[in-house]
Amino acid sequence: MFLESAKNPGWIEIICGSMFSGKTEELIRRMKRAHFANQQVEIFKPLIDVRYSETDIVSHDANAIRSTPVESSGNILLLTGDVEVVGIDEAQFFDMHLVEVCKTLADSGIRVIIAGLDMDYLGRPFGPMPALMAMAEYVTKVHAICVRCGNLAHHSHRLTAGDKLVELGEKDSYAPLCRHCFNEAV
């Protein structure tokens, strides 16, 4: 039994940080490497994320990779089939069931790579990300550069009015800020 599970280990990797920190870029890089290694890969994103493309995952630097948009995390289990690596972008927009979905995938021997915002625009833990980070074997926190002072940024400061938690936007709607500048701005 031990040898069998050692041949096909599954695990969870998290790539988290603020907006403009390179999360999606890193997810795309890891997924392309897995594909290059002839591994069966499948990539998912939330159906609501149509900023750059309805189907592809696209980084702010315009790198792209084919993905499958899904309405809820439960759809991911239905669509994984015979894969070795699953990528999930914008995980913070999924429901809390994503935690169990990722656990099920990893427990069945699949490498799961997840990218998402770890905090919302108010600086609070965002959606399923805290629970996913707690159960992941590997967590990579990437940082943007604070647009006010040039230090490392880990907050996504909303520039537009509104109090909806989920509000898709780009540089016209959000700015990466360090802790000090974020605290001054709110």
Q: pLDDT tens digits for 20-68? A: 999 999 999 999 999 999 999 999 999 876 566 666 767 666 677 788 9
CA distance 7 to 114: 22
Mean pLDDT of 168-176: 73
Is the pTM higher than 0.85? yes
Q: Could you say which of 25, 54, 90, 167 is catalytic?
A: 90
Give the per-residue pLDDT at 3. Answer: 39
Give the integer Cα–Cα distance in Å for 85 and 15.
15
Q: What would the pLDDT profile of 125-152 be if each residue is shown by its tens digit?
A: 999 999 999 999 999 999 999 999 999 9
Minimum mean pLDDT range among 12-21, 130-139, 153-162: 153-162
**How far is it, in rounded angstroms, from Cα 67 to Cα 39?**
16
More confident residue, 174 or 145: 145
Is residue 45 within 8 A of residue 57, CB to CB? The reply is yes
pLDDT band at 4 (very low <50, low <70, confident <90, very high): very low
Distance (Å, rounded) from C-alpha 143 to C-alpha 135? 21
Chain mean pLDDT for the chain: 88
pLDDT of residue 53: 60
Q: What is the reported pLDDT for 2? A: 38
Residue 90 is a catalytic residue: yes
CB atoms within 10 A of CB 14: 25
Domains in the chain, please, with CATH? 2-143 (3.40.50.300)
d(CA 116, CA 23): 7
| Tokens 């980070």 -> residue | 133
Q: What confidence tier does 17 reach under pLDDT thresholds 50, 70, 90?
A: very high
User: Which of 137, 139, 122 minimizes the C-alpha distance to 183?
Assistant: 122
